[in-house]
Structure formats: C-alpha cells, structure tokens
C-alpha cells in the first residue's frame, strides 16, 4: 500500500540556516504530494503541494520538488526564521484514497 | 472564504460516555474527512464522506461513526469512550475532482480528553 517516510526529528537550527527535511514515498499510480505545517495548539495548514512529476511546489520561501525517479519530495528553505518553528508533515494522496501522512518532523529555530 | 470550522474546540469526557464532534467545511466543498492525531500513532484516517455517503473508512472500531448532512456539514460520534480515545480530532474538506487527489484543508481540531 501507499506510505510516506520522513526524517526523524527534532531538527534544531539557528536563524538564517538552511533547512532540508527529507521525505520519500511508496505509491501506486500518480499521487499528489503535500507538505503541511502544524503550529502549537493548531490544526494543519497546507504549506505547498505538487500534483505531478517534476512539479515544484513553493510557498513562504519553502520549496519541494516531486521526484518520481527517487520517489522523494524533500522540503527546503534557504533561510529559516524563528517563526518557522513547528511540526512539518509530508503527505500523499492517490486517486480515491485517503491522505497518508508521515510521522512529522519537529523544527526548532533559535535566534 | 471562511475556513473549515470545528466545534467544540475542547471536550472533557469520562470513560463510557459518548461524544459528538461537528465540522463545517469550506463553502462549496463536498467532501469531508476525519483524522485522529495522537503522539503515539500520529495522524490516522477515520473516514471520508461525500454527498452524505461514506466513501472511505480507516481501520477504527465501530464505536467511531460519522455522518454528513445535505449541506455538507459533518459530525462524528464516538460511543463508549476509552482512555485511548484522547486525541486531537481533525476535520478536512476538499472539492470533488475527477482525479480524487484534490487538496484537503484542515480545521483547527477538537481536543478530546477522556478521564
């Protein structure tokens, strides 16, 4: 079945550091891929998405590219801020199936 | 457009009771999905409704049930509560698309504590 694996956290960075959170997936067909972010005490917010191979999703300085050859959708940001501290979830959705999440990666950014 | 709303935001119940949670989707969205989030199990899919019909179901016991109304609003019910049902329950809505891979937008969640 479909599954998502993302790097274990927590990830601790200083402000303005480069961020990468790895995400790989297993899926049949051509799923859509997503990154969601969850701030403390809140629900999930869509950060970015990609619907087909080689698509690049981007939002608020975050980027991720749908790589079918490596079945990956790694999240990157060139310069993190304290306000980026949150839990990040990689997810995939195949046609007619439920959204499947990775276990989440906690990011902590200090000034 | 208003986002997904969930009520109540917080609930405290005791074992054996039942609880009903409510979700109002984004206007125009016809699909509503429910998820349970716990520290140990992460985010787990409960069920999905579209046009008042359950379209998909996760691996949860029959104590967990849901329904959708003609205005797309949805409720989920948990009967005979157990301590392990303590969790954040998230509702998500989406448009219906032919591919079925459209984006889900989440509400703030209902935090259920079972004592």
Q: Does B99 touch chain A (CB under 8 A)?
A: yes
At A105, is the pLDDT very low, low, confident or very high (cuts 50, 70, 90)?
A: very high
Please state, rounded to an integer, the average pLDDT across all residues of chain B: 93
Q: ω before A10 within 30° of 0 (cis)?
A: yes
Q: What integer is the mean pLDDT of A2-29?
A: 94
Q: What integer is the mean pLDDT of A50-76?
A: 96
Q: Does A34 touch chain B (CB under 8 A)?
A: yes
For A23-46, letters b (16+ CB in 10 Å) and e give bbbebeeebbbbbbbbeeeebbeb
At A83, is the pLDDT very low, low, confident or very high (cuts 50, 70, 90)?
A: very high
At B96, is the pLDDT very low, low, confident or very high (cuts 50, 70, 90)?
A: confident
As a whole-number percent, the residues of chain A with pLDDT over 70 amount to 100
Identify which has the larger pLDDT, A85 or B99.
A85
Residue A79: both structure tokens together: 């310069």
Q: Does B108 touch chain A (CB under 8 A)?
A: yes
d(C-alpha A96, C-alpha A2), whole Å: 12
**What pLDDT, on a 0 to 100 scale, did the predictor assign at position B103?**
87
Q: What integer is the mean pLDDT of B72-78?
A: 97
Residue in chain B closest to A52 (alpha carbons) equals B101
As a whole-number percent, the residues of chain B with pLDDT over 70 amount to 95
Residue with tokens 């975050």: A62
CA geometry: angle A69, A73, A79, nearest 5 deg: 135
Q: What integer is the mean pLDDT of A46-68?
A: 96
Q: Is B107 helix (H, G, I), strand (E, B) or coil?
A: coil
d(C-alpha B28, C-alpha B113), whole Å: 32
Asked whether residue A13 carries a pLDDT value surpassing 90, the answer given is yes
Asked whether residue B101 carries a pLDDT value surpassing 70, the answer given is no
**What pLDDT, on a 0 to 100 scale, did the predictor assign at position B97?**
59
Identify which has the larger pLDDT, B12 or A41.
B12
Q: Does A57 touch chain B (CB under 8 A)?
A: no
Is B108–A51 a contact, with Cβ atoms under 8 angstroms apart? no
User: Which residues in chain A touch residue B35, judged by CB atoms under 8 angstroms apart?
Assistant: 99
Asked whether residue B37 carries a pLDDT value surpassing 90, the answer given is yes
Q: Enumerate residues 11 to 70 of chain B having a beta carbon within 8 A of any beta carbon in chain A.
A: 33, 35, 42-43, 45, 48, 56, 58
At B100, is the pLDDT very low, low, confident or very high (cuts 50, 70, 90)?
A: low
Residue A59: both structure tokens together: 């939002």
**What pLDDT, on a 0 to 100 scale, did the predictor assign at position B95?**
87
Asked whether residue B98 carries a pLDDT value surpassing 60, the answer given is no
B83-92 residue pLDDT tens: 999 999 999 9
Closest residue to B48, CB basis, from A36, A49, A98: A98
Closest residue to B100, CB basis, from A43, A49, A95: A95
**What pLDDT, on a 0 to 100 scale, did the predictor assign at position A82?**
97
Q: What integer is the mean pLDDT of A78-100?
A: 93
Residue A53: both structure tokens together: 């191979």
């Amino acid at each position: 079945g479909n599954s998502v694996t993302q790097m274990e956290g927590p990830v601790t960075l200083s402000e303005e550091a480069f961020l990468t959170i790895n995400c790989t997936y297993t899926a049949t067909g051509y799923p859509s891929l997503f990154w969601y972010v969850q701030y403390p005490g809140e629900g999930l917010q869509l950060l970015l998405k990609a619907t087909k191979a080689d698509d690049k999703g981007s939002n608020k300085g975050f980027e991720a590219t749908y790589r079918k050859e490596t079945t990956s959708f790694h999240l990157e940001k060139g310069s993190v801020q304290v306000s980026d501290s949150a839990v990040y979830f990689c997810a995939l959705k195949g046609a007619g199936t439920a959204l499947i999440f990775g276990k989440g990666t906690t990011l902590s950014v200090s000034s | 457009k208003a986002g997904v709303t969930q009520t109540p935001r917080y609930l405290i119940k005791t074992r054996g009771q039942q609880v009903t949670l409510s979700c109002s989707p984004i206007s125009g969205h016809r699909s509503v999905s429910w998820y349970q989030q716990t520290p140990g199990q992460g985010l787990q899919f409960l069920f999905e409704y579209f046009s008042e019909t359950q379209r998909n179901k996760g691996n949860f016991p029959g104590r967990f049930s849901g329904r959708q109304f003609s205005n797309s609003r949805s409720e989920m019910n948990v009967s005979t509560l157990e301590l392990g049902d303590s969790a954040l329950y998230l509702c998500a809505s989406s448009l219906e698309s032919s591919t079925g891979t459209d984006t889900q937008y989440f509400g703030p969640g209902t935090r259920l504590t079972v004592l």
